Structure 1
């Protein structure tokens, strides 16, 4: 019985190891591309402490963890390659939740309707899906608006 018991333990252990490897591979295979954002944000600029938006967010209880980042985008249009970029102003954290920060620009006012917010800010939520939402900081009006997109 001792000989068969050893084999049984080995088979159960091998089965558990194979199941663990399978689940790890399955998770890696089905992980959204945005989950690899740690690599993406490792190239972000340093946070400038003299930036008024950084100070404003810190006064509101947020910790600014990453500075400005430029996301290069290559677009294939009918076989022609086009280049563009997307700018993330800051990444902030509060209560263990991360937020993408966009700052107000005089040249680019935002239309505060459902379609206006969607057209302007949804791309950031899709770029980093592990973030809780998008913070829109308007330094002139002294407001921080939190935008969270829910699908379905």
Structure 2
């Protein structure tokens, strides 16, 4: 290659590097803040080994890795600041896959229809998209339901 061929190759290589750096910066700039599961789970409570839901999950072959966690939410409603929170009951792992665990409550029964499951559990799948799904544990009925959401 001649004198200009070397410069042309360097220009192409430099352009690719600049484009790649731009894409990395753009992706970092536009990802939601504070939703990284490692940071989220670092503040979780310790797992209570005597909890009946933990024992039930362990009997089913799951390893409970994190305890209860409260996710604080700040809501701006027409300039008025409101506070709320979401509760993750447990985080479990099986075969290298992580699951968010929600436990059944008598005062909050779930409607097992598409819209009922969506309204009650979709927010957890969106909160931690890298999880494999959601486990709904009903200790009284001795059932563990696995819920996954697919979009599109």
TM-score in terms of structure 1 length = 0.84
Unaligned runs of 5+ in 1: 1-6
Match of 2:42 in 1: 42
Unaligned runs of 5+ in 2: 1-6
Instruction: Kindly indicate whether residue 128 of structure 2 is the aligned counterpart of residue 108 of structure 1.
Output: no
Alignment partners' CA distance in 2, 1:118 and 1:131: 16
Contact 2:134 2:147 in 1 (8 A): yes
Match of 1:4 in 2: none
Q: Secondary structure at the match of 1:84?
A: strand
Match of 1:97 in 2: 97
Contact 2:64 2:90 in 1 (8 A): yes
Cα offset, 1:29, TM superposition? 3.3
TM-score in terms of structure 2 length = 0.84
Distance 1:143 1:24, change over 3 A: same
Deviations 1:66-104 (A, max 9, x none): 100001111111111111111000011111111100000
Match of 2:136 in 1: 136
> What RMSD in Å do the two structures reach over aligned CA positions?
2.4
Question: How many aligned residue pairs are there?
Answer: 152
